[in-house]
Amino acid sequence: MAEFSRLSWFLTLAILLAVVQADLFTPRHCTWHGTAPMCLPSCPMGKRSVVESKCGPNKLVCCVTGNKKLCCPKNLDIDPQTAIAIAKNG
């Protein structure tokens, strides 16, 4: 019985640590991805593309092929204009 109790405690602790760790590494910001002139970006794990643009925030260096992508956390319900306003350059 004591062995079962220790195993149960260990499994509970392992699950708790996994949940906390996953939350710590969840991206929390919208960021631009893609480097001109050949822009073929993909959003990092845990993010989705909200806006695509030839130039992104930098109007001086635009993509010849593909688009820059503004990637935001998948669980963030945000409209494109707000995402652009709060975005960090990736």
pTM of the full predicted structure? Answer: 0.67
Residue 54 inside a domain? The answer is yes
* Domain range for 33: 28-89
- Kindly report the number of other CB atoms within 10 A of residue 41's CB atom: 19
What's residue 22's pLDDT? 46
What's residue 26's pLDDT? 53
Residue 23 inside a domain? The answer is no
What's residue 21's pLDDT? 46
What's residue 29's pLDDT? 85
Number of domains in the chain: 1
Please, how many CA atoms are within 13 Å of residue 16, restricted to the half-sphere of its CB?
6
Residue 83 inside a domain? The answer is yes
Please report which residue ranges of the chain form alpha helices under DSSP H. 2-24, 80-86
Which residue ranges of the chain lie beneath pLDDT 70?
Answer: 1-4, 6-28, 90
Phi, psi at residue 46, to the nearest 5°? 90, 0
